[in-house]
Amino acid sequence: MNLIRQFLTLILAFAGGFLVVGGWIWAPNISSAMSSFVSVGPSVSLFADANRLGRPEVAPVVRSCIFRVVDVGPDAKIEPSAGYFILKAGTMQANISRLAGKPEDTRSDFRMVDLAAKWGELAGCIYAQEDRELCDPDNRAAMVEATTKFFAFANQAEASKPPISAEAARVIRNISDKLLNALKNHRRYGTLVAADFGSFAPPEIMQIMREDKETRDICKR
């Protein structure tokens, strides 16, 4: 078990370092490579129409919102796409650490809460944009990924043993309520469909996709 943990930690250190440092320098090239490898956007959906989902890291809404979530300091000069990769690198590190760590490790639980809050803040900023902005494939991909990541980490945090603090649970619940309301609206507007999230979306998302119906398609006006 110790050998497996050491191996996973080594992978974590290498991958995290590459994505964080490399993302600052090579973000535009990495974005192109990722786009070629996964045409519908990384970690979003493998089942959506490729014309509906673009590349979240280059989305205009990410340019507007990412530095509300990722603090690189006032003097840092990096592209928004690099900021997005920094957030995704932290996400990958947390996932690997959780697999390699002890179930009762409270630092891991805190990290889940922190990442849920960050992805939730990014999703909230994206949803606050003008509705038709989310007809853009890149913007839609960013919206789908941020929403999916928030609920995935929120569910992990809420299932923690021992439980997370009451304050952390309240923060997650408040973000969740706001995002679910926004998600319902965009389901009805036609800016989001079930296929955008694929077959493995968190249950909260799939429930809305099943129960709420599209009443119009603002992207076709």
Place of tokens 């990924």: 145
Query: Per-residue pLDDT for 9 more than 80?
Result: no
pLDDT for 16 equals: 47
Produce one character per residue of 169-208: b if its CB has 16 or more CB atoms within 10 Å, e if not.
Answer: bebbeebbeebbebbeebbbbbbbbbebbbeebbebbeeb
- Name the pTM for this structure: 0.73
Q: What distance in Å separates the CA atoms of residue 185 and residue 154, rounded to the nearest whole number?
A: 21
| Higher per-residue confidence, 84 vs 48 | 84
Domain ranges of the chain: 2-220
Query: Per-residue pLDDT for 96 more than 60?
Result: no
Query: Per-residue pLDDT for 21 more than 50?
Result: no
Mean pLDDT for 102-113 is 62
Query: Per-residue pLDDT for 55 more than 90?
Result: yes
| Higher per-residue confidence, 154 vs 95 | 154
- C-alpha triplet 187, 65, 75: angle, nearest 5°: 170
Query: Per-residue pLDDT for 68 more than 60?
Result: yes
Mean pLDDT rounded to a whole number for the chain = 76
